[in-house]
Amino acid sequence: MVELEKIVEDTAVELLRIAATELHTEYVEELERAMEKTEGAVGRSQLANILENVGMARDGSRPMCQDTGVVAFMVKLGDGFPIRSGIKEILVRATRRATEEVPLRPNAVDTFKGNTRDNVGLNGYVPIVYFDLVDGDGLELVAMPKGGGSSNVAAHSMLKPGLGLKGVKQFVIESMAKAGSLGCPPYFVGVGLGGGEDLCMILAKKALLKPFKVRNPDPRVAEMEEELLEKINELGIGAMGLGEGPSALDLHIEMAARHPASLPVGVVISCWALRHAKAKITSDGRVTIDKSA
Amino acid sequence: MEYKLRTPVPEGEIRRLKMGDLVYVSGIIITARDEAHLKALELHESGEQPPVDFRGVGIFHCGPIMKKVDGEWTVVAAGPTTSARMEIFQDKFIEAFRPAIIIGKGGMGDRTTKACSDYGCAYGAFTGGAALLAVKGIKRVRDVFWLEEMGMPECLWVYEVEDFGPMIVTIDSHGNNMTENVKKKILAKKEKILASMEG
């Protein structure tokens, strides 16, 4: 048991290191294609700088961005996995260790007392941990550190249901135009639709983790994803908001049912450095790290 | 055009820069974000001096990752942070301390643009997130102030740099602002897209 706890902790530290230092190959290739297609010298130079920087991070196992974000974990805990409530404390320990070992920037601030210096803080809320209880006896961990610049341009609205899907689409376009240069484009976009004022934001954040360029299985949602992505690129934000190159690389929608009187929409935006890493751990401690985007 | 500046940069050299130029800086750049700007301005207003002279240097909107190796501070990652947060006091800062160039990402607004033209300053956009590219240009950590009080991301780190860049001049000292120009185009395009969705 003690050994399994150590395995989970080491894996969580490793996931934070991978997330901070290795951009997924699929994203890198998309940025390379985007650079080839970009005609303006300013846009090309921004994409070239990003790609050079990403290479340096991978080669030297160093964080690609100084803003290593607020740490979040998405946990799928199997019914038969031997560690239960103890997972939380293990993830807190892993966050403290990764802060020293990767290193990550201390990004957890107590608004009254200042920086906590270890990325952990206040009433058990940070690192942020999302638990799902699932079948089986395994554990799946996703580490997702997210930077402040792109988090600051997230948007939320409780639309009037009468505005319908058109209203939803218009709100997404408005939000992206407002984000403009501020959150390090080209962006990844997550849209959460339904579920209430809180859940739509969580859905939007989780939508960022859906497989790259794989459209929603519901053809109506898939069509909306494609339409929104195309229109966001028509806005012409460009790399770093300088008007040249892509504005967004991908967009996913995640839906939940809603109250009849509410049409909640959440838009969560990631900078070009969409950082996440996933691992599966079996009940006897075998670890598989999944590096696909 | 491409320019290589050395701090302290004389005002005349800043006045030569035009929107769209590429610049590299050698000499001194100092990190300062929200809290450091606030504190420096509070000191100035009460007639005191901040612990380091900002005149003619680069002010870097950056909260780096630093690590002490054998008792010496080293830079792990140091890309720019979103400059727009500093728009609320950057003009006062430029007026009070007369830095040569503000380095950040995402651009700044009308107040900073006016201060740049009034006092001979410029804004250099460094590629956001390119934290290791930035480290390449930093040769030594000369000093740190307000670390205990503000923590690693917010305090003043004084870096000795060599050809730190490239940066694109997106605000020059002649009233031009590239990001604002792009923003106007984005907003115009947005109106068209929203209108097309009405149909």
Tokens of A149: 């610049």
Separation CA A52–CA B154 (nearest Å): 27
> pLDDT digit string (tens) for B26-82?
999 999 999 999 999 999 999 999 999 999 999 999 999 999 999 999 999 999 999
CB A231 within 8 A of CB A170: no
B105–A271: do the CB atoms touch at under 8 Å? no
Q: Quote the CA–CA distance of A92 and A85 in Å, as a whole number.
A: 12
- Note which residues in 139-198 of chain A have CB less than 8 A from chain B: 147-149, 152, 166, 169-170, 173-174, 177, 180-184
Query: What digits encode the pLDDT tens for the residues B110-129?
Result: 999 999 999 999 999 999 99
Residues of chain B with Cβ-Cβ distance to A174 below 8 Å are: 190, 194
* Confidence grade of residue B199 (pLDDT, cut at 50, 70, 90): low
Per-block mean pLDDT, blocks of 10 residues, chain A (293 long) = 94 98 98 96 96 97 97 98 97 98 95 94 95 98 97 98 97 98 98 98 98 97 98 98 98 98 98 98 97 86
Give the burial class of B103: count Cβ atoms within 10 A of its Cβ; 0-12 exposed, 13-18 middle, 19 or more buried.
buried
Q: Total structural domains in chain B?
A: 1
Measured in whole angstroms, the distance separating CA B173 from the mean position of its chain's CA atoms is 14
Q: Are B91 and B111 in contact (CB under 8 A)?
A: yes
* Rounded-to-integer distance, Cα B38 and Cα B112, Å: 16
Which of B190, B192, B198 to probe by mutation at the A interface, max A CB count within 10 Å?
A: B190
Cβ separation B77–A152 shorter than 8 A: no
CB contact under 8 A, B76 and A231: no
Nearest-angstrom CA–CA distance, A255 and A184: 26
Q: H-helix or E-strand containing A179?
A: helix A164-179
8 A C-beta contact, residue A187 and residue A247: yes
Q: B128 with B79: CB under 8 angstroms?
A: yes
Q: Quick check: is B44 catalytic?
A: no
Cα B106 from Cα A178, distance rounded (Å) = 12
Q: Give every strand in the sheet of A277-281, ordered side by side.
A: A128-134, A72-78, A139-143, A277-281, A287-290
Q: Give the tens place of pLDDT for each residue, B154-192.
A: 999 999 999 999 999 999 999 999 999 999 999 999 999
CATH number, domain containing residue B76: 3.20.130.10
Q: Which residues contact A233 (CB under 8 A, 6 or more apart)?
A: A246, A247, A248
pLDDT at B198 over 80: no
Name the residue facing B189 among A147, A170, A234 (closest C-beta): A234
- pTM greater than 0.90 (yes/no): yes
Residues 188-217 of A with CB under 8 A from B: none
Q: What distance in Å separates the CA atoms of residue B30 and residue B28, rounded to the nearest whole number? A: 7
ipTM confidence score: 0.92
**Which secondary structure element, helix H or strand E, spans residue B131, and what is its range?**
helix B131-136
Q: What is the distance between the alpha carbons of residues A174 and A155, in angstroms, rounded to a whole number? A: 10
Mutate to test the interface with A, among B1, B31, B76, B149 (most CBs of A within 10 A): B76
CA–CA separation, A145 vs A72, rounded Å?
6
A59-70 pLDDT, tens digit each: 999 999 999 999
| Cα B14 from Cα B18, distance rounded (Å) | 9
State the residue range of the domain holding B11.
2-198
Task: Tell me the residue type at A121.
Answer: G
Give the one of B78, B170, B182 whose C-beta lies nearest to A66's C-beta. Answer: B78
Q: Which amino acid is at B75?
A: V
What is the rounded distance in angstroms from the CA atom of residue A75 to the CA atom of residue A134? 10
Residues A62 and B134: beta-carbon distance below 8 Å? no
Distance CA B166, CA A3 (A): 49
